[in-house]
Amino acid sequence: MVGEMMQNVVVIVSDHLSTRAVGAYGESDWADTPNIDRLAERGAVFENMYTSYPLCGPSRAAFWTGRFPHDTGVLCNGLKVQGPDILPNGLVPEDMPTIGESFKNAGYHTIHFGKCHDSGGLRGFEIVADGTRESEDVPVGYPENNDTWKDNWAMDRFAEWAEGGFPDSFCAVVDLQNPHNICGWIGEHSSLDGPVSHAISPKNLPELPKNNRVTDWASLPLPIRYICCSHNRAGQTSHYTDEDWRYYIDAFRHYAKMADEHVGTILRLLAEGGVLDDTLVILMADHGDAMGSHQMATKQVSFYEETARVPFIVAGPGVPTGGQRVATLTSLLDLFPGLCEYAGIEVPDGLSGVSFAPLLKNEEVQREFVAAEWYSEWGYTISPGRMIRSACFKYTCYLEGSGGADDPTGGEELYDLETDRGEMVNLAADPAYRAVLLEHRDMLRRHIREQEDPFYRQKVVVDKRWRSHALGYQHHSGPTAPMAAHS
């Protein structure tokens, strides 16, 4: 794309980062990410980039290989529960190409710093050893755990590498844990009844998102109604008050700013090393965070915009400057073919993604929809689901509570994203949208057939205990499935 000279590539992955926490996306008045925003001004902001699976491990295995999770075999973060109906969590097949292998074979120095969460997708990269370094000064109200300490260590190692002189051509990954530290803020540094105390005044807290409250629980599929039973962080936030949620968003802003500061350091080191102008820089996330929408924290089971739609910003040689906005539907699966096309590397056969490189030149790319998957986090509850995001609508389908391929009624969501960006009114049972529903059912069936996706054959594994309380997360009581498994 940019000529015969090999261009350097730096991919920065920020775990858990939400578009709402990035100033360049303009979705909040509280975002504090000046370095990411400056990167956006130098390049292109992808407004409709979606993860293929809103969970760390499966998402990463998918975008490093350009293949859907059902192809990689990485279906959760790892199994803590075994049983005849539970699929083994696999490793990326040895013969499945990866970004690291493709760039290494093309003569690039390939190196990875930071969070791995690797199931084989990072093959081809030199993995810099993991470690921790505690921060010297920790603000009151924003406790830190290994997420932050591992970022400190990774940035120390990246700085040592950069200050030693950059190779002639390189493909480097800096995998940041933050803002994932928000999970510890909810968990080990809090309690079931509310967040840690803060030293700041409530009047300085961010406002709640407009879609914070759920008003029609009965219209939602079972896996969504009972997320509070499937994930310990969701259980721990189930009784949050409005003020609690505002503290949560404030803490998320803090941890996102920590990631942004690391982005600033990376860009500074590239500039000081004289390679920034010859380097394609991508800032992205593996998935988002619910940010208090739908009374949810972190990520789990759902495909709502806050968790399924992710930041993706590209800047570097050949990319028009000025904060170009790319509205085309795109998927993180597009990373692999896009990087290959940009660098002039042969694109492996069989990839599920579509190159994003033409979009950087304002060329049109036809995309009817993008898709995403869900299976389980750790195997405690298994609620297979799929998402279809078309130009104007989002359709989701869960096997639990439905008749599967023959009649998915009861396991579906349909949202008009033109009029209901907050996804508050499920139109799946609305007769006025019957034709739209059937159209999206057909899209999913075609996708499953073309991708040889085993979705309709997957098993639902859910203990009845996790579907027993009255509707509404506020009625959650006792442990969640993960907590019970450890008791």
pTM for this one?
0.96
Which stretches in the chain have pLDDT values below 50?
Answer: 2-3, 191-194
The per-residue pLDDT for 62 is 98
The per-residue pLDDT for 193 is 43
Which of 100, 101, 75 is CA-nearest to residue 88? 75
User: Per-domain residue ranges for the chain?
Assistant: 8-367
Distance from C-alpha of 390 to C-alpha of 478, rounded to nearest angstrom: 39
For the domain covering 8-367, report its CATH number.
Answer: 3.40.720.10
The per-residue pLDDT for 6 is 78
The per-residue pLDDT for 191 is 45
The per-residue pLDDT for 3 is 45
The per-residue pLDDT for 483 is 76
